[in-house]
Amino acid sequence: MVTMKAFIFVLLLGIQGAAAVTHSLKYFLTGSSQVPNFPEFVVVGMVDDVQIDYYDSNMEKAVPKQDWIAKNTDQQYWESQTEKRMDAQESFKANIEILEQAFKQTGGVHIFQRMYGCEWDEETGEVNGYEQFGYDGEDFISFDLKTGTWVSKKQQAASTKNKWDHNRALTAQKKNYLTQECPEWLKKYVTYGRSSLMKTVLPSVSLLQKSSSSPVTCHATGFYPNRAEMVWKKDGVELHEGVNKGEILTNNDGTFQMSVDLDVSSVHPEDWHRYRCVFQLSGVNEDIVTKLDKTVIKTNKGKSDEGNFISLIIPVVVAALVVLAAIAVIAFIICIFIYIFTLIFRLCKLLLILANKIFCNKKSSCIRN
């Protein structure tokens, strides 16, 4: 499960939804120590929350994850990306050792992360950049692009902040990358994959309920991209109490699904018509609104009754089949005996006829049967 936690840490460190006209380029770097069955170093690049490349310390090679990025880049590009990743890999290994000493730790599982990238508003042209580091799932230090200074999140980050704040060359390099180089690459990537990045696919929305006492789940599946929101509303007002919102999950075909539960235990039947499940997809003006209606809710009740009936009838059918099989075997054995008896009877009759003929040949008179 540690590997899953490591991946979750990557997600928690900075993935945020982008607006319909705002594009983003983000890189997630994760270094780890003593994590079983997980590479010591992993890098994931994402454009508009779609993975475009991947690198880890086991393969030691940067590779594309989208056809449109592979078609528009050459071998030299990937060799350059691989070289950058390998340099960062060595740096991360050293940083984990430094942080273990700073936190007075001796061995054990530890995760060090870095997330950096930029956003570009295609309509206004506005750009923004960010960079932050995390250790063992918590924020450690981040860069403030407006002030050009570092913000320490932990006491142990104070010395790093002081060192980096006084490194003017580092500050200039960060500003140039986050405001110039990163947006330029982002614009290229968006051009390469615009048809894929900008497509929208609406989901199918269903209301589900396990039993009459269970929450009603509004479930949307098959939508794209993953920049979506789904809420329960009462009389047009978004609800928070009694609502449990799930995470956006990926389907096998690359689309997404999500769900949000509504506790209906305190909702009076006459008030159900006041509730709505509202699904909103980025880039689509119209929402998908589903009315809370008992007649359209898919439930397991019917399936459960059917399942119980089947579970009861199956043993009866099996027992009947066993009895029939036994009867068939007995009948078969009886038939065999009858057949054998018939053969013996016919054989005896034949022998009697032969014997009678032989006897009649020796005697002159014979009684005919």
Among 161-170, 339-348, 356-365, top mean pLDDT goes to 161-170
Tens digits of per-residue pLDDT, 155-177?
999 999 999 999 999 999 999 99
Q: Which of 48-52, 213-217, 363-367 has the lowest mean pLDDT?
A: 363-367
Cα–Cα distance for residue pair 21/123, rounded to 1 Å: 7
Q: Average of pLDDT values for 178-196? A: 97
Q: Could you write out the DSSP letters of every residue in 65-105?
A: SSHHHHHT--HHHHHHHHHHHHHHHHHHHHHHHHHHHHTT-
Q: Return d(Cα 66, Cα 254) in angstroms, integer.
A: 12
Instruction: Provide the 3-class DSSP secondary structure of residue 246.
Output: coil
Choose the weakest-confidence range: 4-8, 58-62, 124-128: 4-8
% of the chain at pLDDT higher than 70? 80
Q: What is the pLDDT of residue 327?
A: 77
Q: What is the pLDDT of residue 313?
A: 57
Phi, psi of 206 (to 5 degrees): -135, 155
Cα angle value 225/230/232 (rounded, 5°): 170
pLDDT, one tens digit per residue, over 218-273 is 999 999 988 899 999 999 999 999 999 999 998 998 899 999 999 999 999 999 99
Which has the minimum average pLDDT: 8-12, 154-158, 338-342? 8-12
**Does residue 366 register a pLDDT over 60?**
no
Q: Residue range 187-215: average pLDDT? A: 94
Which stretches of the chain are DSSP H helices? 2-12, 67-71, 75-102, 158-165, 168-176, 182-197, 301-362
CA 101/CA 108 separation, integer angstroms: 12
Q: Which domains does the chain have, with CATH numbers?
A: 2-197 (3.30.500.10), 204-301 (2.60.40.10)
What pLDDT does residue 361 have?
Answer: 53
Residue 139 has what pLDDT? Answer: 97
DSSP conformation letters of 306-335: HHHHHHHHHHHHHHHHHHHHHHHHHHHHHH
pLDDT in tens, 53-112: 999 999 999 999 999 999 999 999 999 999 999 999 999 999 999 999 999 998 899 999
What's the pLDDT at 357? Answer: 60
